[in-house]
Amino acid sequence: MGCEARTAEELKARGQRLTQNRLMVLCTLRHAGRHMTPAELLDEVRQAYPHVPPSTVYRTLASLRDAGVISETRQSGETEYEWPDQPHHHLTCRSCRKEVSIPHGYFAPVERRITADSGFQVDLSHIALSGLCPDCRGTDEK
């Protein structure tokens, strides 16, 4: 099954209408396999569909985010979107901008604890944390 067919199935499973705009944005994100800013996504989409207006991409991203189909995060001061194959989180070095992905397992106990203590169902599906990587911290702290 190709990307478009899998993407169409995913949209339908989430109760979303299948539109050309949603399909084009989602397939672009899936093929990228990384976070993309709206501007990067627009550039990619325009390679196949040169006359797509920016507003179409931005509205589609907002709609898909609100429906929980794609994830949104702010890294390095910019909003980025991703097709979330597996729940994961990001550590970004505030000095060199190196990024490391970590599995959701680190945060699952925190998620359960918050719910147990407060009754609040928190969404910890995509977290971006900043700090200093081992190289930027210096060799004496490794």
| Mean pLDDT (whole number) for 24-45 | 88
Average per-residue pLDDT for the chain:
83
Per-residue pLDDT at 135 exceeds 80: yes
- High-pLDDT (> 90) share of the chain, %: 22
Contact 70, 64 (CB under 8 A): yes
Question: What are the phi and psi torsion angles at 70 (to 5°)?
Answer: -120, 160
pLDDT at 75: 66
CB atoms under 10 Å from CB of 116, counted, come to: 8
Provide mean pLDDT across the span 83-101.
81
Domains of the chain (ranges; CATH) run 3-82 (1.10.10.10), 88-141 (3.30.1490.190)
Q: What is the DSSP string of 27-67?
A: HHHHHH-S-B-HHHHHHHHHHH-TT--HHHHHHHHHHHHHT
Lowest mean per-residue pLDDT among 13-17, 65-69, 124-128 = 124-128
**26 to each of 43, 58, 95, 96, 109, how far by Cα in Å?**
14, 12, 32, 30, 31
Q: pTM of this prediction? A: 0.68
